[in-house]
């Protein structure tokens, strides 16, 4: 038997470890998530990917999500949270990176209320706007939304909506801020320092 974490133990079994991963467009968080999965055995859940997969599945829920997006409406927190919750329950792993969520304070409060899970910490990839612009314009993989105006707008939206979330967790001492302007390897060195003390993969 592995070690039992008394603080986390509950009658319904141990709650999973959840880490929220936040960072603006072009902060490189997707790449870092892939590294964390590979080195530390987490499961990466992207709210956006789950919504897209649900739409693709053709379920009634998927159709509803698709229609809301088409009409430019924001998908309600509850819908995204239920998808995240289902993915966590069906996965079998007990540690998850939740990427690009919570996008705002309302998301955050709803997640904790619905799942009764509080994140272990929030990994925040902090990257200055100039660096993000450089990266997004540089990679321009035919994404029409990667022009300078749109990039600035996306960055502004990210800051306005995500900052209250970051401040909330900062007050609880739960934010691990990473300087994401550095090269990928250097950023991962910082990430490793955060994860290494607690979750080195145990060799069987």
Question: Is 108 annotated for ligand binding?
Answer: no
12 is in an annotated binding site: no
> Is 183 annotated as a binding-site member?
no
Neighbours of 174 (CB within 10 A): 16
182 among annotated binding-site residues: yes
Residues in a beta bridge with 43: 96
107 is in an annotated binding site: yes
The reply to whether 41 sits in an annotated binding site is no
Q: Judge whether 153 is annotated as a binding position.
A: no
Classify burial at 149, counting beta carbons within 10 Å of its beta carbon; exposed 0-12, middle 13-18, buried 19 or more.
Answer: exposed
Q: Is 176 annotated as a binding residue?
A: no
**111 annotated to bind ligand:** no
Q: Which residue has the tokens 């509950």?
A: 10
Sign of the Cα pseudo-torsion (116, 122, 128, 134, in order): negative
52 is in an annotated binding site: yes
Tokens representing 143 are: 């994404």
Cα separation, 204 vs 197, whole angstroms: 18
Q: Is 152 annotated as a binding residue?
A: no
Q: Is residue 154 a known part of a binding site?
A: yes
Residue 74 annotated in ligand binding? yes
Annotated binding site for a ribonucleoside 5'-phosphate: 52, 73-75, 100-103, 143, 154
Annotated binding site for CMP: 107
Annotated binding site: 26-31, 52, 73-75, 100-103, 107, 139, 143, 154, 182
Annotated binding site for ATP: 26-31, 139, 182
């Amino acid at each position: 038997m592995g070690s039992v974490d008394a603080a986390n133990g509950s009658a319904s079994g141990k709650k999973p470890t959840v880490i929220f991963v936040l960072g603006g467009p072009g902060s490189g968080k997707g790449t870092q998530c892939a590294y964390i999965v590979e080195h530390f055995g987490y499961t990466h859940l992207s709210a956006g990917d789950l919504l897209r997969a649900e739409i693709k599945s053709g379920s009634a829920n998927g159709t509803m999500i698709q229609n809301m997006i088409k009409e430019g409406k924001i998908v309600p927190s509850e819908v995204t949270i239920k998808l995240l919750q289902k993915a966590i329950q069906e996965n079998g792993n007990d540690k998850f990176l939740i990427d690009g969520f919570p996008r705002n304070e309302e998301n955050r409060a709803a997640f904790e209320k619905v799942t009764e899970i509080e994140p272990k910490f929030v990994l925040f990839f902090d990257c200055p706007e100039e660096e993000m612009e450089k990266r997004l314009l540089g990679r321009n993989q035919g994404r029409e939304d990667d022009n300078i105006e749109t990039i600035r707008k996306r960055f502004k939206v990210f800051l306005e909506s995500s900052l209250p979330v970051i401040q909330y967790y900062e007050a609880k001492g739960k934010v691990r801020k990473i300087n994401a302007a550095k090269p990928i390897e250097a950023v991962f060195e910082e990430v490793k320092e955060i994860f290494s003390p607690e979750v080195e993969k145990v060799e069987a």
